[in-house]
């Protein structure tokens, strides 16, 4: 159990391509941090730098106040769960879990006790003598977890551990990993490209894009107050609606006949992008939406339509009240649900 | 697929049978010849069914040898062949697995150059470099020794390449997982990589054992004393005896026995051999 500090962490290949452009973060003891971002954003690289599998080009990583930049993975006291599980194919489940302890010279009796205990926690006791190839994906995943927890490390590192599982199992394992982490109270860093996993599992998220941490915050912060256009678009499904517009002379926003008052003062004439989540729109007088497509999800319904000025908008309506295609649907926005972003920099300006 | 074309079945069986006959007939004739006495084998027509002298021929060749040329018992030659074949085969596997490990898992200057150097130089057959190799071996005083028979032949591009390809197919995460688990390179090699290479090693063992066993030119050059002759050498020497009618029954008995060990290796290691070539265990 430990704290992990990232101070101006950078990574570049050959000095030219900078894949991680300076990340700062203090991870407190027992916290569950999720690094989320699209593929190629550098999230796995960052995790591997914490693990010691990638060299750190700049900045510092400290685990429990000890700078680990130059330490081998084995000396960092971390355990890692890989996307493809990376179980040793020729060893039984028991040996897979015991291997790290054996190398560390832990006594036979203690290895046995720890492996048995971990196996019990993960409910893989019946498979201890089997080889990895005789297990299903979900079981392999548990073994990989088991290999991490028997070590009782200072931190767990997860590299997209659920992306090889089918959708149902993924949801189940998601809950279990989270529960296990709570129970053990071990500081964890979890990499995923799945924003649902990020939202549900993380105590805090790092949303990454092109090597930059766009936002670091609790899931609710990230959802309710996205720091940039990228975060706003990436978190939430379906994605936030964006409309390009300009601040009027009086500091208000004209939108399809209606007018919005930003909560903060913004210079008149500035190009802004306003965003609203589909779930923050509902039926009521405001705008007229020409319905183009309707998706029934059961619990709710997604309506794709266009405003009179031709801009596209998605609305999420509760239940199964289905407007007809071609109908005019009056929609209104919830109070204060508009997000304002600078069109050029993508930074958040405020709400409306 | 349901297919009901009896003629096709008959035809394909016929092709297979002809193929088998072409390959098996000389072996059968060798066997038949090794069971008759010398006079029968010189008379026409040559018999096609086994005769009564099987035990006599084999015990003579094993204990006394072929008196007219070498006179060393075949048991000694078989032992020499076995030492050479196992030496070459195990040596090749050990050296090439270490070389491939270095090439795949370590970053060092001229790594690819080293790989290509191994690859290119060993495409040259033994015969091309045989004179300088003999010079070196003779200079080191290794003529008429087992090490002289074995060491010049134990480098192998094929095996290095095969191991390299296998190591490349092992997911990087395994190496990383073992690093996180605390295993250094040597532990990783012995605990993870070596057990995983089991089937590849078995396949190479079969190929290289046969290669080593069938060596002819090199043992011929590097051995002067008869006590270092190999079985394959004996077969050839006996057939080219100049001043007498050859005792085909004994020559063929030698040939049968010289053929036996490679056949046994293939028969007993067939399953691992095939698995090593087709399956990658991950």
d(CA B167, nearest CA chain A) in Å: 14
A263 is in which domain, residue-wise? 238-351
Mean per-residue pLDDT, B189-215: 90
- pLDDT of A236 > 50? The answer is yes
Same domain, A8 and A147: yes
Beta bridge partners of A18: A12
Task: Provide the edge-to-edge strand list for the sheet that holds A4-13.
Answer: A17-27, A4-13, A58-63, A66-67
The pLDDT-based confidence of B40 (bands split at 50, 70, 90) is: confident
Of the given ranges (A143-147, B31-35, B121-125), which has the lowest mean pLDDT? B121-125
Residue A74 domain-assigned? yes
With bands split at pLDDT 50, 70 and 90, how would you rate the model's confidence at A29? very high
- Calculate mean pLDDT across residues A62-68: 91
The model's pLDDT over B130-184, given as tens digits with 9 standing for 90+, comes to 888 899 999 999 888 899 899 888 888 888 888 999 999 999 999 999 999 998 8
Exposed/middle/buried for residue A288 (C-beta within 10 Å: 0-12, 13-18, 19+): middle
- Digit-coded pLDDT (tens) for A119-147: 998 889 999 999 998 998 889 999 999 99
In angstroms, what separates the C-alpha of A16 from chain B's closest C-alpha? Answer: 21
CB–CB contact A103 B173 (8 Å): no
Q: Is residue A258 domain-shared with residue A174, that is, in the same domain?
A: no
Is residue A99 within 8 A of residue A115, CB to CB? The reply is no
Residue A61 near residue A73, CB atoms below 8 Å: no
Taking an 8 Å cut-off on Cβ atoms, the answer to whether A90 and B195 are in contact is yes
Is B183 in Cβ contact with A103 (below 8 Å)?
Answer: yes
Poorest-pLDDT segment among A69-73, A166-170, B32-36, B67-71 = B67-71
Task: Flag whether residue A88 sits within 8 Å of chain B, measured between CB atoms.
Answer: yes
Find the radius of gyration of the CA atoms of chain B.
24
Same domain, A334 and A263: yes
B188 neighbourhood in chain A, CB within 8 Å: none
pLDDT one-digit tens code per residue, B250-270: 888 888 888 999 999 988 888
Give the confidence band of B34 by pLDDT, cuts at 50, 70, 90.
confident
Rounded percentage of chain A residues whose pLDDT exceeds 70: 99
Q: Residue A35's closest CA among A160, A142, A145?
A: A160
- Token look-up 């010189």 returns B42
Query: Which residues lie below 8 Å from residue B67, measured CB to CB, with a gap of 6+?
Result: none
**Maximum Cα–Cα distance across chain A:** 77
At B61-108, the pLDDT tens digits run: 888 777 666 568 888 889 999 999 999 999 999 999 999 999 999 988
For residue B185, which residues of chain A lie inside 8 Å, CB to CB? none
Residue A191: which pLDDT band, with cuts at 50, 70 and 90?
very high
Same domain for A224 and A256, yes or no, is: no
Whether A80 has its CB under 8 Å from any CB of chain B: the answer is yes
- Among A214, A192, A215, residue whose Cα is nearest residue A204: A215
Pick the residue with more confidence: B279 or B100?
B100
pLDDT for the residue numbered B119: 81
Please compute the mean of the pLDDT values over residues B39-68 and round it to a whole number: 80
Final residue of a structural domain among A166, A201, A228: A228
Residue A27: the pLDDT is 93
The answer on A258 and A222 residing in a single domain is no
In this structure, is residue A25 part of a structural domain?
yes
Which spans in B34-170 are helix H? 38-42, 54-63, 74-105, 111-121, 130-139, 146-150, 157-169
Does A72 contact B171 at a Cβ distance shorter than 8 Å? no
Average the pLDDT over A193-199 and give the result.
91
Give me chain B's average pLDDT, please: 86
Pairwise CB contact (< 8 Å): A82 & B178: no
Q: Could you give the CA distance from residue A223 to residue B120 in angstroms, rounded to a whole number?
A: 60
Say yes or no: A220 and A248 in one domain.
no
The residue ranking higher by pLDDT, A42 or B279, is A42
Residue B87, both tokens: 């030496």
**Tokens standing for B129?**
């470099």
**pLDDT at residue B229, as a whole number:** 87
As a whole number, the mean pLDDT across chain A is 89
Are residues A149 and A243 both part of a single domain?
no
CA B261 from centre of chain: 9
Can you give the CATH number for the domain in which A276 is found? 2.40.50.140
- Choose among B279, A139, B130, B85: nearest CA to B77: B85
Q: What pLDDT does A257 receive?
A: 67
Reported pTM:
0.81
Question: CA-CA distance, A116 to A112, in Å (whole number)?
Answer: 6
Q: What is the pLDDT of residue B281?
A: 47
- Tell me whether residue A169 is in a domain: yes
In the predicted model, is pLDDT for residue B275 greater than 90? no
**Does the beta carbon of A92 lie under 8 angstroms from any beta carbon of chain B?**
no
B34-278 is a CATH 1.10.3470.10 domain: no
User: Does residue A286 sit in the same domain as residue A199?
Assistant: no
What residues contact residue B271 under an 8 Å CB cut-off, 6+ apart? none
Domain assignments of chain B as residue spans, ordered by start: 34-278
B281 CB neighbours in chain A (<8 A) are: 89-90, 133
Tens of pLDDT along A251-280? 788 777 677 788 877 788 888 898 999 999
- Please report the pLDDT score of residue A229 as a whole number: 93
- B173 contacts on A by Cβ (under 8 Å): 82-84, 86
* Strand intervals (E) in A99-181: 155-159
pLDDT of residue B280 exceeding 60: no
The 3-class SS string of A161-174 reads CCCCCCHHHHHHHH
The domain tally of chain A equals 2
Write the residue in B179, B192, B196 that is nearest to A74 by C-beta.
B179
Residue B282, pLDDT > 50, answer no
- The residue-averaged pLDDT of A89-117 equals 93
The CATH number for A76's domain is: 3.40.50.300
Distance CA A312, CA B86 (A): 76
**Best residue of A13, A45, A55, A73 to probe chain B, by most B CBs closer than 10 Å:** A73
| Dist CA A77 CA A156 (whole Å) | 9
Percent share of chain B, pLDDT over 70: 94
Of A80, A84, A103, the CB nearest to B182: A103
In Å, what is the CA distance from A271 to each residue of A234, A341, B28? 22, 9, 93
Best A13, A54, A85, A90 residue to mutate vs chain B (most B CBs within 10 Å)? A90
Share of chain B above pLDDT 90, in %: 31
What's the Rg (C-alpha) of chain A?
24
* Cross-chain Cβ contact B182/A79 below 8 Å: no
> Does one domain contain both A108 and A29?
yes
Residue A323 lies in a domain: yes
pLDDT at A334: 87
A233 part of a folded domain: no
Rounded to whole angstroms, how far apart are CA atoms B143 and B145? 6
Q: Is the pLDDT of residue A335 over 90?
A: no
Please indicate, yes or no, whether residues A83 and A159 belong to a single structural domain of this protein: yes
The pLDDT value given to residue B68? 62
CB-nearest partner of B282 from A52, A80, A89? A89
How much is the pLDDT for A214?
Answer: 93
Residue with tokens 């092109």: A210
Q: A73, B179: Cβ pair inside 8 Å?
A: yes
> Which pLDDT band holds residue B116 (cuts at 50, 70, 90)?
confident
Residue in A89, A95, A111, A160 to test binding to B, most B beta-carbons within 10 Å: A89
Place B243 in a pLDDT band, splitting at 50, 70 and 90.
low
Q: What number of C-beta contacts closer than 8 Å exist between A and B?
A: 63
The last residue of one of the domains, among A197, A228, A259, is: A228
């Amino acid at each position: 159990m430990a704290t992990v500090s990232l101070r101006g962490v950078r990574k570049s290949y050959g000095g030219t391509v900078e894949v991680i452009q300076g990340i700062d973060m203090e991870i407190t003891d027992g916290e569950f941090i999720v690094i989320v971002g699209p593929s190629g954003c550098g999230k796995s690289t960052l995790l591997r730098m914490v693990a010691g599998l990638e060299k750190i080009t700049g900045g510092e990583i400290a685990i429990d106040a000890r700078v680990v930049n130059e330490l081998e993975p084995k000396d960092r006291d971390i355990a890692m769960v890989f996307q493809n599980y990376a179980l040793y194919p020729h060893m039984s489940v028991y040996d897979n879990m015991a291997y790290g302890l054996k190398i560390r010279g832990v006594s036979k009796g203690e290895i046995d006790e720890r492996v048995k205990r971990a196996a019990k926690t993960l409910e893989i006791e019946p498979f201890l003598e089997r080889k990895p190839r005789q297990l299903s994906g979900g079981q392999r995943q548990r073994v990989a977890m088991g290999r991490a927890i028997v070590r009782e490390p200072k931190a767990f590192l997860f590299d997209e551990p659920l992306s090889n599982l089918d959708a149902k199992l993924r949801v189940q394992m998601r809950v279990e990993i989270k529960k296990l982490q709570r129970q053990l109270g071990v500081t964890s860093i979890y990499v995923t490209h799945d924003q649902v996993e990020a939202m549900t599992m993380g105590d805090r998220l790092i949303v990454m894009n092109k090597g930059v941490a766009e936002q670091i915050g609790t899931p609710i912060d990230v959802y309710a107050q996205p720091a940039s256009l990228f975060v706003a678009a990436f978190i939430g499904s379906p994605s936030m609606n964006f409309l390009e517009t300009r601040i009027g002379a009086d500091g208000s926003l004209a939108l399809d006949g209606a007018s919005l008052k930003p909560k903060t003062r913004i210079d008149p004439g500035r190009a802004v992008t306003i965003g609203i989540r589909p779930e923050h729109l509902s039926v009521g007088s405001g705008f007229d939406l020409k319905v183009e497509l309707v998706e029934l999800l059961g619990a709710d319904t997604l309506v794709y339509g266009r405003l009179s000025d031709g801009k596209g908008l998605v609305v999420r309506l509760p239940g199964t009240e289905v407007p007809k295609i071609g109908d005019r649907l009056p929609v209104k926005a919830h109070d204060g649900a508009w997000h304002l972003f600078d069109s050029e920099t993508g930074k958040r300006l405020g709400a409306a | 697929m349901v297919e009901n074309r009896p003629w096709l079945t008959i035809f394909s069986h016929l092709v297979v049978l002809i193929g088998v006959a072409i390959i098996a007939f000389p072996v059968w004739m060798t066997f038949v010849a090794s069971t008759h006495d010398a006079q029968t084998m010189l008379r026409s027509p040559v018999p096609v069914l086994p005769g009564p002298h099987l035990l006599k021929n084999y015990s003579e060749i094993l204990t006394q040898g072929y008196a007219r040329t070498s006179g060393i018992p075949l048991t000694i030659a078989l032992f020499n062949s076995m030492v050479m074949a196992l030496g070459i085969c195990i040596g090749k596997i050990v050296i090439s697995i270490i070389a491939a490990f270095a090439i795949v898992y370590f970053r060092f200057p001229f790594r690819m150059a080293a790989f290509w150097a191994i690859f290119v130089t060993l495409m040259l057959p033994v015969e091309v470099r045989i004179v300088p190799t003999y010079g070196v071996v003779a200079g080191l005083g290794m003529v008429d020794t087992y090490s002289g028979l074995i060491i010049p032949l134990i480098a192998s591009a094929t095996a290095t390449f095969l191991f390299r390809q296998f190591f490349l197919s092992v997911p990087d995460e395994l190496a990383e997982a073992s690093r996180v688990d605390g295993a250094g390179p040597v532990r990783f090699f012995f605990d993870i990589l070596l057990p995983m290479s089991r089937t590849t090693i078995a396949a190479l063992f079969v190929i290289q054992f046969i290669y080593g066993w069938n060596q002819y030119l090199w043992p011929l050059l590097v051995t002067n004393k008869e006590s270092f002759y190999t079985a394959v050498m004996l077969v050839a020497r006996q057939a080219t005896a100049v001043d007498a009618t050859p005792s085909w029954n004994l020559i063929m008995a030698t040939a049968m026995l010289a053929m036996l060990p490679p056949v046994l290796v293939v028969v007993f290691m067939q399953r691992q051999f095939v698995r090593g070539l087709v399956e990658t265990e991950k």
